[in-house]
């Protein structure tokens, strides 16, 4: 039985990449045939770039391209770009930043954020009247001081000791349905788990899209603008700086954006200085529909951009 050789590259950032490149060079100089190659984190920089070079050279190991490969590593040993040629390094850094923005910002926006306005339309159609039940909308209202407010374009929360209102009932029903399908998913047969998961996530999403816009509208005038900005900035910082938490940061941004879109449609109040009009919402809805319609055609370019980004990163 023929012996097979496996090579594993550990993590450790740039230090691991430097050490693994030396190990790889020693292995190739000794003409050892590597049958399996495993890598993680920093070791993946060397492993992926080596496999990319090998794939482009008929999947064979030859001293000719080995020499070019390691010379390329030396020239591009900087963290993000070549330091030997400042102009080339600047261009490569700019290209890397563009790839990063495209993959991490533009593509998620195209994929997720256009759905906010259709969601706002559906939430308003199904629950708009209930959500506005605790508000005085589209008419004048006199507060306890005797001051009259012109509410022809705004909704004003009624601070009255009212019994359990329709919004409270709606919140309770949605929470109950979520808990019910959560328990159902835990004990259901495998074939029924998909059904339970779908409705569990559906009712939880509806609860978020009803509860958060209601809370935002109710407490917006007592919440400083910098608090909203801090929430948005924190999610963006986590998105860029902490990759393991990027999915959670994206989810937080999506919920945040969707909630404001629903608030804009249901309560018809301004968001970030943009006053609500039905014409503006209709335009936003049409633009969202066009982006959603053409999104499938962006599939291959998206995959190509992500592949190019990963391949470009693997060269460092």
pLDDT given at position 187:
83
Q: How far apart are CA 70 and CA 50, in angstroms?
A: 9
Q: How far apart are CA 202 and CA 211, in angstroms?
A: 14
Helix (H) and strand (E) counts for the chain?
A: 12, 6
* 16 close to 42: Cβ distance less than 8 angstroms: yes
pLDDT tens by residue, 113-152: 889 999 999 999 999 888 877 666 655 555 445 555 554 4
Q: Left if phi > 0, otherwise alpha if psi is -120 to 50, otherwise beta: which for 41?
A: left
What integer pLDDT is reported at residue 282 of this predicted model?
92
Q: CA 302 to CA 107: how far, in whole Å?
A: 7
Q: What is the bridge-based pairing of β-strands 135-137 and 155-157? A: antiparallel
Low-confidence ranges of the chain (pLDDT < 50): 143-144, 151-153, 160-164, 222, 313-316
CA neighbours closer than 13 Å in the CB half-sphere of residue 60: 4
Distances in Å between the Cα of 278 and the Cα atoms of 140, 265, 268, 281 are: 21, 8, 9, 5
Q: How far is Cα 27 from Cα 37, in angstroms, rounded to an integer? A: 12
pLDDT of residue 117: 93
* Residue 316: predicted pLDDT: 45
């Amino acid at each position: 039985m023929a012996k097979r050789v496996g090579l594993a590259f550990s993590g450790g950032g740039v230090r691991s990449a430097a050490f693994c490149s030396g190990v790889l060079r020693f292995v190739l100089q000794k003409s050892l045939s590597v049958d399996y190659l495993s890598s993680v984190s920093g070791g993946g920089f060397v492993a992926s770039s080596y496999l990319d070079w090998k794939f482009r050279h008929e999947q064979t190991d030859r001293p000719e391209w080995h020499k070019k490969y390691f010379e390329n590593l030396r020239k591009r040993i900087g963290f993000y770009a070549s330091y030997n040629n400042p102009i080339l390094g600047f261009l490569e850094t700019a290209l890397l930043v563009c790839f990063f923005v495209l993959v991490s910002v533009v593509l998620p926006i195209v994929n997720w954020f256009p759905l906010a306005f259709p969601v706002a339309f559906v939430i308003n159609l199904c629950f708009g009247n209930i959500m506005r039940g605790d508000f005085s909308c589209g008419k004048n209202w006199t507060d306890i001081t005797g001051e009259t407010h012109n509410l022809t374009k705004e909704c004003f929360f009624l601070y009255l000791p009212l019994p359990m209102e329709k919004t409270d009932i709606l919140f309770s029903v949605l929470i109950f349905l979520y808990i019910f399908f959560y328990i159902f998913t835990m004990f259901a047969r495998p074939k029924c788990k998909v059904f339970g998961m779908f409705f569990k996530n559906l009712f939880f999403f509806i609860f978020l899209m009803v509860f958060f816009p209601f809370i935002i509208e109710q407490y917006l005038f007592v919440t400083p603008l910098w608090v909203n900005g801090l929430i948005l900035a924190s999610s963006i910082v986590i998105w860029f700086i902490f990759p393991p938490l990027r999915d959670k940061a994206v989810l937080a941004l999506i919920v945040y954006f969707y909630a404001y879109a629903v608030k804009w449609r249901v309560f018809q109040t301004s968001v970030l200085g943009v006053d609500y009009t039905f014409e503006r919402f209709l335009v936003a809805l049409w633009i969202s529909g066009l982006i959603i319609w053409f999104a499938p055609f962006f599939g291959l370019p998206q995959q190509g951009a992500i592949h190019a980004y990963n391949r470009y990163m693997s060269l460092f």
